[in-house]
Amino acid sequence: MNPLHLCGDAPDVPDLRGERIQTFAHGLAGHPLFSDESLERLLDDYPRSHLHVTTMGRCFAEGGWRTGEVVGLRGSEILRAVRDGHLWLNIKYLHAVPEYAALTNALYEEIASRTGRRPPGWKATTLLVSSPGAFVHYHADSVPNILWHLRGSKRVMVYPVRAPFAEPESLESICAGAKDEALAYDAAFEADAQCVDLHPGQAVMWPQHSPHRVENRAGLNVSLSTEHMTPEVRRRVDVLRSNRVLRRLHLGPRSARSDGFGAYCKVGLALLDRVLQRVRHRAPIHYRIPATFRVDPNSPTGFHDLP
């Protein structure tokens, strides 16, 4: 099966430089790697440290995002808890599993062959398995990702990459690994949001650093999220990382442009910042939020609170 098929109203292959919203069709819906049986087998033996499970309020306005843990459950029990409860499960580092790594590589190789560009040197894959009605809060990522939707239906809301939707200081800290991806949200932002509804066999990619949030509409939702790094993507990350350095030196960066002589100077400054971080033995920040619940397939919510 050819993994990527372009639909009639989306004549272009995704541009991995991450400069605009792009939707396209793919041929992964119904792939055996994403059946219940395959997901259960994957979850049976998957390292629990690589499973990131969360719950949240019943609607976006409630918030209430919390982290949980998976203990002593078989894959079938985890999947049942997600299907019947109110959970969002990220199966991280899926690119370390040979079958899924091969699929990810095939997708990017096909994109490269159709665009005439080299495939990205760095790729990462996460499988998202989530309940009907679950959602992801307003946030931005440092690198672009493609959301390949496989099962259920979901809605993605994408916002402009500028203040007040994303303050420069916040994006700079995200790119430097100095904070998590969460951004301050205001309901007034909805007037400028672009809405993308996804069904199985559809995919979306939005501009790098775009604030976004995700809402599940119906059914057990399964999506493949792939991240990648191209020279253009790396340069944008480096520019914002360097702007953070300049800001801390009270030099007041004025531009986030990733082209021109100034941008390449900032790439050098970002490299120096990384070297100094290593020399000072400052490890990248890992955000570990204490678990407040445990996945429980026998609970209507799919979990029970920890004492």
pLDDT value at position 8? 40
Q: Read off the pLDDT band of 168 (50, 70, 90).
A: very high
Kindly tell me the sign of the dihedral angle through the C-alpha atoms of 80, 38, 101, 13: negative
22-45, pLDDT tens digit by residue? 998 899 999 999 999 999 999 999
Give the integer Cα–Cα distance in Å for 29 and 78: 22
pLDDT value at position 57? 86
Q: In a 3-state reduction of DSSP, which class is residue 103?
A: helix
Give the integer Cα–Cα distance in Å for 132 and 86: 7
96-145, pLDDT tens digit by residue? 999 999 999 999 998 888 888 888 989 999 999 999 999 999 999 999 99
The CA–CA distances, whole Å, from 251 to 38, 52, 169, 189, 237 equal 53, 39, 13, 30, 19
pLDDT value at position 300? 96
* CATH code 2.60.120.650 region(s) in the chain: 22-230+291-305
Give the integer Cα–Cα distance in Å for 199 and 221: 10
Does pTM surpass 0.95? no
Beta strands in the chain (DSSP E): 22-25, 51-55, 66-69, 88-91, 122-130, 135-139, 145-158, 194-198, 202-205, 212-229, 293-295, 303-305
Go through 35-47 and write b for each residue having 16 or more CB atoms within 10 A of its CB, e for each that does not: eeeebbebbeebe
246-294, pLDDT tens digit by residue? 999 998 777 888 999 888 999 999 999 888 888 876 655 556 679 999 9
pLDDT value at position 93? 97
The CA–CA distances, whole Å, from 63 to 59, 195, 276 equal 7, 20, 38
180-223, pLDDT tens digit by residue? 999 999 999 999 999 999 999 999 999 999 999 999 999 999 99
pLDDT value at position 11? 47
Among the four given CATH numbers 3.40.50.300, 2.60.120.650, 1.10.357.10, 2.30.30.100, the one describing domain 22-230+291-305 = 2.60.120.650
